[in-house]
Structure 1
Amino acid sequence: MDQTIAIVTPAFAAQSTIVPTVRSVLAQTYPHWELWLVADDGFNYEALLAAAGIVDRRIHFAESGGVGRGVCHTRNVALELSQTPFAATLDADDRFKPRKLELAVAALADHPIVSTALDVMSEDFTHVRHVGHGDNQVLTSGTHKWVNLSMDSMIVWDRRRADGRYDPAMRNMNDLEFLLQLFRTVPASRHLGTPLHDYIKRSQSLSNGDDVTARMIASKTEILRRLDTGHYGLPGQEAEGVAAFLRISLEAETRYGAALAEQPNLLFEDHLEPMLAAAGAIK
């Protein structure tokens, strides 16, 4: 049985980060993967990797068809080109830990969606905090966000049982929107509490200017609207679980600027988590 994983990696101005990202894929203990590196900036990443000594027949290179078409369109290009039963996302400045794919594939035997805890790191790969770490557990669409907090792009999924396409109309929160598409046909996912994905916090992501806040609020509000209209076909209790998280997250957005002023470089996760705990959701 084919158990190949397509790793979807959009690349825009990723020249300074892509080599360690690709090397983390080459270091996987699970060998049955193909990496789809899709350039959204017209750059020749194949030549760049070759100059770094990276040549592997499992790495496929493609173009988004333009420049700056966006992460959603670029990921969709890879999903259309690949024919594998499994897929995973890996941004061009993040890294897999060596057993990420091995453990995810094992979990896919019972659950079509697998999420993993994150090792949040600074740009020099210094550990900052973990997100979603702890025991392995089964999550529903309504409980997923309460564990995974603010990041949803680190999933692995069985495309035969759950699939979708990223919505280019969503400027932010497109990872959650995509995940909710997957939950249309899947009652529960498996969350691996071991940090298996290095999520790199870039300096520009540590601030939340007015424009960023406005975009986040607009995207979260749109997902709430879709939940209210039954767009994802989720059971009422599950839809309410997502909606309850988003309402608290929206409140956190409105307070984040002031919190940053008092505590520079405050992570949104560290800002959000106490608010969730106050709501009785985090023990």
Structure 2
Amino acid sequence: MPSVIAVITPAFKSQDTLSATVRSVLEQTHANWQHWIIADDGFDYAGFLAEQGLNDPRQVFCSSGGVGRGASNARNVALAQLTAPYAAILDADDRLKPQKLEHCVAALGHHGIVTTALDVMTADFTHLRFVGTGPDQALRPGAHKWVNLSMDSMIAWDRRRGDGRYEPAMSNMTDLEFLLQLYSTIPTSQHLGTPLHDYIKRDGSMSNGKDVAAGMIASKTEILRRLETGHYGLSPEDVDGLAGFLRISLAAEAAYGAALAAEPGLLFEDHIEPMLAAARA
């Protein structure tokens, strides 16, 4: 039987979005999964899904231990309890393409970390753009962000080869920070260039707001500091690659407000991509 993979979904006031998220898990071609849904608002999501006919014995419901403690804490609650060899992250407003888990589990037979290209969408699932499409390829940490220039919560990983915990004190970029923990013991990731993850871009998201996000800048600056002080134990070449991306990303954050005013609706990905291309030239 194919290995079980635990899908981790924090839920905070997610009644408007969770049904589509859960349905995307139920429709997976890989059937050996657990779906951990962690309530961070005291809501009965098990009853809520049962009322809609979306309940399944493979779902696991638990509480974050409070209200509004944050996605990082909620993910850690699941990570402290699950026993599945593989794990994946799915936010409560995103979706998996039907073959996402099948492709990830197959790749995890040979690789400790798997990332996938993204289908970036609006809240009503209107396609905006793809991120990270192209050939499947093995990536060292220093190359990862130059391919996956958007969010990093599309990952799946083998918990026997590397694991970590999300950092509740960090306001943003916790997905990248967690991935760097995995890279401390797993030297490469396998990137699947097919868009297998629907990433919902909301107006209130920190990288798509009307103003430069101080929290995003602070988190990127802290990760950069950790990289440059050897916190993750990465090679100098990988540190240089990641640090180079973060410096460009910080410059992009600083310029994003003016760019958004000049071009309303501009995606951060479209804003930073030319800056990355210029650095490669």
Distance in structure 1 (CA, Å) of the matches to 2:275 and 2:3: 40
Change (3 A) 1:207 1:197: closer
1:208–1:256 contact (8 Å) kept in structure 2: no
* Counterpart residue number, 1:14: 14
CA distances 1:262-281 after superposition (whole Å, capped 9, x unpaired):
01111100000000001016
- Secondary structure in 1 aligned to 2:36? strand
Q: Is the 1:108–1:157 Cα contact (8 Å) retained in structure 2?
A: yes
Q: Which structure 2 residues correspond to residues 212-251 of structure 1 after superposition, within 5 A?
A: 213-251=213-251
> Alpha-carbon deviation of 1:44?
0.6
Q: Distance in 2 between matches of 1:122 and 1:217?
A: 24
Deviation at 1:226, TM superposition (A): 0.4
Q: Pairwise CA RMSD of aligned residues?
A: 1.2
Residue in structure 2 matched with residue 142 of structure 1 by the alignment: 142
Q: Which amino acid aligns with 1:24?
A: S
**Which residue is 2:95 aligned to?**
95
The 5-angstrom pairing of residues 9-88 of structure 1 reads 9-88=9-88
Give the aligned residue type for 1:51: E
Distance 2:39 2:172 in 1: 20
Query: Is 1:155 equivalent to 2:150 in the alignment?
Result: no
The Cα offsets for residues 173-223 of structure 1, whole Å up to 9 and x where unpaired, read as 00000000000011111000000000111122274344x621111000000
Q: How many residues align?
A: 280
CA displacement 1:55-97 (0-9 Å, x = unmatched): 2110010000000001110000011111100000000000000
What amino acid is the match of 1:223? I
Q: Retained in 2: the 8 A contact 1:94–1:199?
A: yes
Q: Give 3-state SS (helix, strand or coil) of 1:101's partner.
A: helix
Cα distance in 2 for residues equivalent to 1:55 and 1:256: 42
C-alpha contact 2:202 2:208 (8 A) present in aligned 1: no
1:49 alignment partner, SS class:
helix
SS at match of 1:34: strand
**Residue of structure 1 equivalent to 2:178:** 178
Structure-2 separation of matches of 1:82 and 1:7: 10
Q: Give me the whole-angstrom Cα distance separating, in 1, the residues matched to 2:261 and 2:119.
A: 25
Q: Would you say the 8 A contact 2:10–2:71 is kept in 1?
A: yes
Between the aligned partners of 1:208 and 1:264, the Cα distance in structure 2 is 10
Q: Report the residue type matching 2:167 in the other structure.
A: D
Are the aligned partners of 2:210 and 2:260 in contact in 1 as well (CA < 8 Å)?
A: no
Structure 2 Cα separation of the partners of residues 43 and 187 of structure 1: 40
* Cα-to-partner distance string for 1:128-185 (whole Å, 9 max, x where unaligned): 0000011111101000000000210110000000110001111100000000000001
Letter aligned with residue 80 of structure 2 = E
Query: Which amino acid counterpart does residue 246 of structure 1 have in structure 2?
Result: L
Large movers: runs of 4+ above 2 Å: 205-210
Structure 2 CA distance for aligned equivalents of residues 61 and 81 of structure 1: 12
The change in CA–CA distance for 1:79 and 1:2 in structure 2 (over 3 A counts) is farther
The TM-score normalised by the length of structure 2 is: 0.97
State the secondary structure of the residue aligned to 1:76.
Answer: helix
| Alpha-carbon shift at residue 23 of structure 1 (Å) | 0.5
CA distance in 2 between counterparts of 1:194 and 1:142 reads 21
Tell me if structure 1 keeps the 8 A contact 2:203–2:209: no
Gap regions ≥5 residues in structure 2:
none
Instruction: State how far apart, in whole Å, the 2-side matches of 1:208 and 1:122 are.
Output: 14
Residue of structure 1 in register with 2:118 after alignment:
118
**Matched letter for residue 191 of structure 1:** H
Residue 194 of structure 2 is aligned to residue 194 of structure 1 = yes
